[in-house]
Amino acid sequence: MSTSRIASSAALVILLACAAPAAMAATEHYTIDPEHTFPSFEADHMGISIWRGKFNTTRGTATLDKAADTGAVTGGMVDITVDLASVDFGHDKLNEHAQGPDLFDVAEYPQATYRGTLAGFENGRPTRLVGELTLHGVTRPVELDITLFNCIPHPMLKREQCGADAIGTIERDDFGIDAGKEYGFDMTVTLRIQIEALHDA
């Protein structure tokens, strides 16, 4: 074999070796569907009832490494921004109060964000979100359990659609939201993130 052919063959092997990790990563990119993504929460009311609310305006992005398999530590990211002024208890006066300084104080802190890593893969699907919640000007680690995760071909849009349901808890006074604590309100809040995202074209 000529020197030039040997050199060409060696160069090809090197190129293939360099390209292999990129091909194996298989990271896909998605945009959050705001019409099908509604973070919600459940909070105590003096130990006698549970109040439930949701946020109507959410945006964000996600990535998914489809090569991630059982035991994978990470396999994608979720980045969500929530408009706190869109809080909706189904009760107009309570919505107005929640936007005020006693609770979310949207004039000072109009947004909340959650940025997390998909983790705990089983059979190619993540079971946990490990990340940070920024709320009321405070950032703290928050881990969510993913109870549902699936990707399907969208029958009308002809693109892949992925969805998940995640749940976890926070102590709201850790974020400086302690209204009602002196009256015995439990500070534990259950968070749920119902999310759908469409594959970027």
HEC profile of 28-46: EEEEECCCCCEEEEEEEEC
The answer to whether position 114 is within a domain reads: yes
The answer to whether position 165 is within a domain reads: yes
Q: Which residues contact 193 (CB under 8 A, 6 or more apart)?
A: 37, 39, 40, 80, 114, 129, 144, 164, 165, 166, 167
Quick one: pLDDT at residue 25?
52
The answer to whether position 1 is within a domain reads: no
Both tokens assigned to 85: 């002024």
CATH number at residue 102: 2.40.128.110
Question: Which neighbouring-strand residues pair with 86?
Answer: none
Question: Which amino acid does the sequence have at 183?
Answer: Y
Containing structural domain, residue 99:
26-199
Q: Which residues contact 45 (CB under 8 A, 6 or more apart)?
A: 51, 185
The answer to whether position 18 is within a domain reads: no
Quick one: pLDDT at residue 71?
59
Report the pLDDT averaged over residues 136-157: 95
Quick one: pLDDT at residue 200?
94
**What does the mean pLDDT of the chain come to?**
87
The answer to whether position 68 is within a domain reads: yes
Q: How sure is the predictor about 12, in pLDDT bands with cuts at 50, 70 and 90?
A: very low
Residues above pLDDT 90, as percent of the chain: 76
Q: How many helices (H) and strands (E) does the chain have?
A: 2, 11
What is the total count of domains within the chain? 1
| Model confidence, pTM | 0.83
The answer to whether position 162 is within a domain reads: yes
The better pLDDT of the pair 31, 24 is held by 31
Torsion over CA of 15, 16, 17 and 19, rounded to 10 degrees?
90
The answer to whether position 11 is within a domain reads: no
